[in-house]
Copies of this chain bind each other. A is one copy, B any other.
Amino acid sequence: MRTRPLKVALLGCGVVGSEVARIMTTHADDLTARIGAPVELAGVAVRRPSKVRAGIDPELITTDATALVKRGDIDVIVEVIGGIEPARTLITTAFEHGASVVSANKALLAQDGAALHKAAEDHGEDLYYEAAVAGAIPLIRPLRESLAGDKVNRVLGIVNGTTNFILDKMDSSGAGYQEALDEATALGYAEADPTADVEGFDAAAKAAILAGIAFHTRVRLDDVYREGMTEVTAADFASARQMGCTIKLLAICERAADGESVTARVHPAMIPLSHPLASVREAYNAVFVEAEAAGQLMFYGPGAGGAPTASAVLGDLVAVCRNKLAGSNGPGESAYTRLPVSPMGEVFTRYHISLDVADKPGVLAQVATVFAEHGVSIDTVRQSGKDGEASLVVVTHRATDAALNGVVDRLRKLDTVRGVASIMRVEGE
């Protein structure tokens, strides 16, 4: 076994970084045995050097991240700063100075994954980022290695813990969105500004990464259709239950039926209670993968948090260090299929539409005609009415999202339709 240690520099020492440093210290012997050489924490770049960081030698702390990645003696950079800059420049500088990189940065990978992979390859370095999607859940490695001999057709994931906590709370307690969000905030599951989570930005970045890896192509954040879950109501959950469903915010990556294009999207959707994703509770994440030979797989676990994310980072760190010792590299970007990403309008989905309608004869016929005119086939209709008001719940068969959108636009213009109470896609069947 080699005795000269591999030198690791940590960029960022917040919730995740401090756990990485802690585990590197407390489990040093295990890491040494598994890597085949000791690893040494050689520097930690932080913004606030005055903060006391238990277990980290103060000598290692610096505010000059650029100087740290340029040192030249660093073998692996662990980037847990997040955001686009300065993370992007630091990572490319690290490659230029002979370091491989382990990153947990979903935003950066979703936006600039291709360029970063190229930079890594140009310099013969590794870029690993298991922690960028679904925290501790092994997902990147299974998709790009375990399923490397298979053809993935679909990825359906609960990849944001905050929104799953909120939706689970709404489902189990009948709470409205705001009430459930308040509870999530009080318990630390939601940030003070929850926009990135509840509007689906976080999930969209993960969808872009997953779609690219699953389909061996390039999918950027801009390619991902995104709808948040702030408009999901208690009434939607009641409707879902009547259909034997619950509601989840899903990241959905699909290969088109003809195999010639892919789609990636994030939106709330009804899924049957019998689907394995339906029973994913609280802030847990889970990703359901459908592959041609493997069939249906699911990966479940904590999608965030310091220790779980650190677990994913350290798994990558061990792999990258082993590669460094062997003088080899792990799998780089695999984007050879160059499949185009189709817009949302071309996605085939099913809609669940709740309408408030006039309680008089002929309304259903009128509504049904609109669906027919747009070539959208109706699966089920449920009517209920009292006191001159009535509601109509229509669930469609699969049609393009554009056609379904056209139906809804037209329904809104009918005199007999007082309002469209809710529209929700139905998935997982």
Beyond A146-B138, A298-B301, A300-B298, is A293–B311 a contact (Cβ under 8 Å)?
yes
Number of copies: 2
Instruction: Find the B residue at minimum CB distance from A150.
Output: B311
Q: Is A326 an interface residue (CB 8 A)?
A: yes
Total chain A interface residues with beta-carbon distance under 8 A = 58
Q: Mark A279-294, 1 if CB is under 8 A from B, else 0.
A: 1000000000001111
**By the criterion CB–CB under 8 Å, are A138 and B149 in contact?**
no
Q: Mark A139-153, 1 if CB is under 8 A from B, else 0.
A: 001100111111100
Beyond A136-B293, A295-B307, A328-B328, is A319–B33 a contact (Cβ under 8 Å)?
no
Contact of A141 among B31, B146, B296, B312 (CB under 8 A): B146
Write the residues of chain A forming the contact surface with B, with a CB cutoff of 8 angstroms: 19, 23, 27, 30-31, 33-34, 130, 136-138, 141-142, 145-151, 216, 276, 279, 291-302, 305, 307-308, 310-319, 322-323, 326-329, 331, 334, 336-337
Q: A276: which B residues are within 8 A, CB to CB?
A: 279, 300
Beyond A146-B315, A315-B146, A326-B328, is A296–B302 a contact (Cβ under 8 Å)?
yes
Instruction: Find the B residue at minimum CB distance from A298.
Output: B300
Instruction: Find the B residue at minimum CB distance from A300.
Output: B298
Q: A296: which B residues are within 8 A, CB to CB?
A: 301-302
Q: A279: which B residues are within 8 A, CB to CB?
A: 276, 279
**By the criterion CB–CB under 8 Å, are B34 and A318 in contact?**
no
**By the criterion CB–CB under 8 Å, are A138 and B147 in contact?**
yes
